[in-house]
Chains A and B, each alone.
Chain A
């Protein structure tokens, strides 16, 4: 364990050949620090094993490429090429969510849970996938290679389950804004926060970690429906055409 190692991570975006706005640099540094910290259900070592497996799935799993190319995601038979540090349901969750997210189903999601992953672990891992994919994609777009993973930070998982978490609208439990309590910590900028905002709410810390990043890469919530202005160096329609095309290529119906 070495907190000092975190100071070395998150800096690679600052080494871009183009100047990167300071808030984005800070966000990357903070996000890697959060990924290396104990989570709600996962230790810091396990969270970093998840991060490593995300890259393994994305870059090195031949079976994932077969699944992706198959007419049906259930048609391919084989095993994932893994780093060997995680359980079978963790591997399945990571590999499928990283490489073929548009063809997941509630039945598949339930099969991952039935194989031995708790719903809290599932949601925390999804949050890590979203964060690592965002971090690595941003740096790749700027021409920067993946930075080495940081070392784990000491500590214990919080093991906090929001009492308001219920399975209703989504495949996994979520905390509706009206059911959030003070002990959950800050979660929603507004009682009208959209369902995408509620997605990780069963693990409030994951929600906070993720949205601290997402707001800085896309737009803070208060600007999302202000279509007549842009706070970025590209116009709002330019932002949205990138967003729409990336989502469509992922076959994301949301």
Chain B
């Protein structure tokens, strides 16, 4: 744990935000959420680069898109998995007893 975000310089925050943003593309949408949570308390600081806000915005949008995507996928999976037969069973982590 580094020092709290409130005490960091604007440059440091920018670097963190950028790293987290690009890191999110490695199938890591949680990093985008992480980015937002982390930077949120200082988002309105005067000396902050406007780039930080852009990273945050993009992070939020991308994370929301992935969330929607996975929600849809999961809904489809739950609804259709019994119809997929063996393929559906293969995808299922633990076969649910009963149904």
Partners in one complex: no
Interface set of A (CB-CB < 8 Å, partner B): none
